[in-house]
Structure 1
Amino acid sequence: MTAMPLLKSGCCWRVGSGDDIRIRKDKWIPNYPSNMALHPVAEEVEECMVSDLIDSDLHCWRRDFIMETFQLNDANAIFKIPLSRGRAMDSAVWLQTKNGVYSVRSGYHKARKVMINESWVESSSSVEGHQIWKVLWGLKIPSKLKVFGWRACHEILPTKVNLAKHKILEDVMCHCYKRFTETILHAVWDYGAAQDLNKRAKEFLDKYRKAQVVLTPSNGISGSCVWHAPPAEEFKLNFDVAVFSDQHNSGFGAIIRNSLGEVMAYMLVKGPHMNSSEEADVLACRRAVEFSREVGFSRLIIEGDCLNVMRALSVSIENSSLLGHIYEEIKFNLRGMHVLSINWVKRGGNMVTHTLAKHVRNLIDDLYWIEDTPPPMEDALYYDSLHINE
């Protein structure tokens, strides 16, 4: 029982139905500081459950109600939590491992962090500095940099001064400049190495922002991996996703082709903003499988270019990660279909759907077509046709 506080500090609820999760008292917002809403809510909402924030008929967040109830940063973090289309159960996930399952090693590392950080953290919900946090959480930078900035502003980084306060170290002097104490201000800003690091960080952020810009598809497609047609009487479903950070959304592309490489059906669909590339691909996969069922294709070979997603779908063991309920939903849908195989392919074998997904950026409405060739991917389709008989 003495380990229970540690386990609770390292866990987060994975939202299913939301019936068992308390809005204010439980940790249920992943990829967010403290995994809880940072700002206070109205008294009448204090005792509500997360299920009160979900439209049980449409299986989506009640956006208007959430915008009225929560501060903008908290609301946007909630909207990024993917929901199951079915009646999934709420489940506790261990955040310190990718698969969501506790291990002794991850527990040890979590215990060390708790020992260092315990009692250092204060809330960002105070009125003072509210505008600072609003700007910080709204920055288009990696989440870990936002968290670092938040920790630095609250003076909870493990500098020598802070470690000395908790009897972990005795020496508080900077190991580079012995005449200065190692405070957060000194470590982050003062000495030359920190200034050089700040310069490199700026260069990194510039590269990161440029990488988020979706480029025009290249005419040259790598020949190291190409699309292969399915056997006669069978069909192949390919899917991909493109993330548009500047638009705060994404694009799902999927196509179904026969053994001659002919297009049987395809879709271009706008998706939500994502927390990770794996989340983007698994949500694209879910929509692609739903699309294939809707248009009546059930004998399929399924291909995607995200190794983690295709591997997770290929095993029968239950997925306990933060995205586990989405994986299990896809597997449930696949049980009603005749799926020959689930394969991972390199980008060269998935260029048609990659081009489709990027084209969603320019769309206003979702597009679904049967037995037609969409103009945006004519070149990629032609390239694939050259390798049908290989």
Structure 2
Amino acid sequence: MAWVSWRKMCKSKSDGGMSFRNLQAFNLAMLAKQAWRIMTNPNLLIVRIYKAKYFPFGNILGAKLGSSPSYAWRSIYNSLEVIRKGVRWRVGNGKMIHIWEDKCLPNPTTYKVCSPLQDIGDFPMVSLLIDEETRHWKVEMVKRFFLPFEAETILNIPLSYNLSEDSIIWLGNKRGVFTVRSAYFVALPIVENSEEDECSSGDSRTRLWKKVWQLKLPAKVRIFAWKACMDGLPTKLNLAKRGLNVGAECPLFEKAVESSSHALIYCNKLCEVWWNWQDCPINLLAVNRCFVDLAVEILDAGSPNDLETLFATTWAIWFNRNQVVHESKRSPHSQIWNLARCTQEDYKNAILFCRAQQQQAPDIGWAAPPPDVYKINVDGATAGIGCRSSMGVVIQDCWRMAIAAVSKVLNGNYGAAVTEAFAVEEGIRLAKEMELQRIIVESDSCEVVDAINESSCNGEFGMVIQGSVELLRFFQSWKMQHLKRDYNRVAHKLAQLAKSSGSSQQWKGIVLPVIQHVLLLDRAKC
């Protein structure tokens, strides 16, 4: 028997559901995977067949259903809306992106330019806004043709030094890689677009739904709490409503109807249990309310610990009620209260025990490279609104001597990962200029380190990663590894120097006074 509708259970946990998969949306996501393969693998035989028949003069995003389509193409065609909503252009050299028609801005509303049309030519492409000599945006042109907020957005789009080709990226995750999981969350709003909002999505209860799954209680108690809040418990009243030939009377107090709130809170046989809760933030038994409203009131007036007490106690009460109904056993009120307290304490003690058993990873600091190998440490520094990001690079040899360093201000206000990616690219380029053959690059950004090691160039800053990967091909050997921020202090100092001074500097063959003290401290630790 279904106590909660499947549609409600398919909603996210923050909206009062259980995050079960909507099968229609999941099917669209699976079909979208085939559409993505067609779009990203144009040389496959099946792709060439589809293209010749259904979209001979464009790409799959502009394809038509056509006359007498095959069942496979009809299915794939139905999933194209998922692809259209889940992709946008990533700017490389801008030669394939139309300024006003294509999605290329990191703006999650439309991803398109909304500034009024300007006379920049018959078919204006983004490449008109890029200076190929400096590899930077044409600042004056951008500010002249676009609204101020949009001009700022465009100028903060990162451009790689090698100006690689434009590419389409997936918006469902940070890596820019299509997955069925991420496509599902793009397809879900499309499927549910016509469905009316349910009470579980109300603002007053959203905080409760989020908090329920974060409570320090066993999973069975949290699931019970969700069922109680959704009125999904098999009480006598709910059984009668579903057509079962049973009475609706409470098995503990036969003069009342057994609803969820009655069975858990307001039954006269439970008063002694709730009297043990001396520090309850509200007058629990004063007014008869539905259970979910009572939980919201306790959360508003008290703390998450009070909510844990409510749910643990009601779980113990429901456990006792089932014993009465199915086994004719009744526990004393003190035992019900103690069961609730022990459930809470045992779970918290188990969490503490597991944390104590976890072994910490060894704390590895900065180490000098082997002979004939040079170590490049990089770091980025983000900036506030209206300011520009900065980065620092230092190259050291096997004697821990700094042979080169860079303190540079970037051309835009980028996020932390993009800034780190630019710092890595700058460090590798500097090593190439100095004709170093074997290098080790260290950064405190795991995201950038993993992207370079995996040659993952699909994210929003994938063009910068691609530039670094291409530069690394010029070296005899290279290694990219992560270093904790505490041991990356020299590069951090250089990045902060550029941030505070607002100017870029580069040194070769000398030890800078600004980092000499930090270098000495690092050598003392090694």
| Residue in structure 1 matched with residue 524 of structure 2 by the alignment | 386
Question: Deviation of residue 344 (structure 1)?
Answer: 0.7
| Residue in structure 2 matched with residue 357 of structure 1 by the alignment | 495
Residue 53, structure 1, aligned to residue 129, structure 2: yes
Decide which of 409, 412, 426 is 1:270's aligned counterpart: 409
Residue 234, structure 1, aligned to residue 359, structure 2: no
| Residue in structure 2 matched with residue 65 of structure 1 by the alignment | 141
The answer on whether the counterparts of 2:175 and 2:456 sit within 8 Å (CA) in structure 1 is no
Decide which of 336, 341, 359 is 2:474's aligned counterpart: 336
Question: Deviation of residue 333 (structure 1)?
Answer: 0.6
| Residue in structure 1 matched with residue 450 of structure 2 by the alignment | 311
The answer on whether the counterparts of 1:250 and 1:271 sit within 8 Å (CA) in structure 2 is yes
The answer on whether the counterparts of 1:253 and 1:267 sit within 8 Å (CA) in structure 2 is yes
| Residue in structure 2 matched with residue 139 of structure 1 by the alignment | none
Decide which of 185, 195, 211 is 1:109's aligned counterpart: 185
Matches within 5 A, 1:237-248: 237-245=376-384, 248=387
Letter of the 1:18 partner, please give it: G
Residue 16, structure 1, aligned to residue 154, structure 2: no
Residue 285, structure 1, aligned to residue 424, structure 2: yes
**Residue deviations 1:222-266, cap 9 Å, x none?**
x94421111122211111011121551122111111111111111
Matches of 1:239 and 1:250, distance apart in 2: 14
* 5+ residue gaps, structure 1: 119-165, 178-191, 197-222
Q: 1:281 to 1:31 in 2, by over 3 A?
A: farther
The size of the alignment, in residue pairs, is 297
Once the two structures are overlaid, the 10-residue window that deviates more, 44-53 or 79-88, is: 44-53
The answer on whether the counterparts of 2:424 and 2:441 sit within 8 Å (CA) in structure 1 is no
Answer 1 or 2: which has greater strand percent: 1
TM-score for both structures, normalised by structure 2: 0.53
Query: Considering only aligned residues, what root-mean-square deviation do their CA atoms show, in Å?
Result: 2.6
Question: Deviation of residue 43 (structure 1)?
Answer: 4.6
Q: 1:45 to 1:36 in 2, by over 3 A?
A: farther
Decide which of 107, 115, 118 is 1:42's aligned counterpart: 118
| Residue in structure 2 matched with residue 7 of structure 1 by the alignment | 83
**Residue deviations 1:158-191, cap 9 Å, x none?**
xxxxxxxx442476996859xxxxxxxxxxxxxx
Residue 260, structure 1, aligned to residue 399, structure 2: yes
Decide which of 451, 462, 475 is 1:324's aligned counterpart: 462
SS of the counterpart of 1:92? strand
**Residue deviations 1:254-302, cap 9 Å, x none?**
1111111111111111113444211111011111111222233332111
Question: Deviation of residue 103 (structure 1)?
Answer: 1.8
Residue 347, structure 1, aligned to residue 375, structure 2: no
The answer on whether the counterparts of 1:100 and 1:321 sit within 8 Å (CA) in structure 2 is yes
Once the two structures are overlaid, the 10-residue window that deviates more, 277-286 or 226-235, is: 226-235
Q: 1:89 to 1:173 in 2, by over 3 A?
A: closer
Matches within 5 A, 1:153-164: none
**Residue deviations 1:80-138, cap 9 Å, x none?**
1111222412111110122212222212211223455x6xxxxxxxxxxxxxxxxxxxx
Letter of the 2:90 partner, please give it: R
| Residue in structure 1 matched with residue 196 of structure 2 by the alignment | 168
Matches of 2:409 and 2:120, distance apart in 1: 35
Matches of 2:390 and 2:123, distance apart in 1: 37
The answer on whether the counterparts of 2:158 and 2:414 sit within 8 Å (CA) in structure 1 is no
Question: Deviation of residue 5 (structure 1)?
Answer: 2.1
Q: After the TM superposition, which segments of 4 or more aligned residues of structure 1 sit over 6 Å from their partners?
A: 170-173
Matches of 1:256 and 1:170, distance apart in 2: 59
| Residue in structure 2 matched with residue 203 of structure 1 by the alignment | none
Residue 371, structure 1, aligned to residue 509, structure 2: yes
Q: 1:40 to 1:169 in 2, by over 3 A?
A: same
Question: Deviation of residue 341 (structure 1)?
Answer: 1.7
The answer on whether the counterparts of 1:93 and 1:101 sit within 8 Å (CA) in structure 2 is yes
Matches of 2:172 and 2:510, distance apart in 1: 46
The answer on whether the counterparts of 1:310 and 1:343 sit within 8 Å (CA) in structure 2 is yes
Q: 1:172 to 1:53 in 2, by over 3 A?
A: same
Q: 1:45 to 1:106 in 2, by over 3 A?
A: farther
| Residue in structure 2 matched with residue 84 of structure 1 by the alignment | 160
Matches of 2:154 and 2:142, distance apart in 1: 8
SS of the counterpart of 2:110? helix
Identity of aligned residues (%): 25
The answer on whether the counterparts of 2:94 and 2:125 sit within 8 Å (CA) in structure 1 is yes
Letter of the 1:307 partner, please give it: C
Matches of 2:200 and 2:520, distance apart in 1: 66
Answer 1 or 2: which has greater helix percent: 2
User: Whose relative contact order is higher, 1 or 2, with alpha carbons under 8 Å and at least 6 apart?
Assistant: 1
The answer on whether the counterparts of 1:256 and 1:263 sit within 8 Å (CA) in structure 2 is yes
Q: 1:346 to 1:175 in 2, by over 3 A?
A: closer
- Bigger radius of gyration among the two: 2
Matches of 1:378 and 1:92, distance apart in 2: 45
Letter of the 1:55 partner, please give it: D
**Residue deviations 1:167-225, cap 9 Å, x none?**
42476996859xxxxxxxxxxxxxx99xx9xxxxxxxxxxxxxxxxxxxxxxxxxx944
SS of the counterpart of 1:35? coil
Question: Deviation of residue 345 (structure 1)?
Answer: 0.8
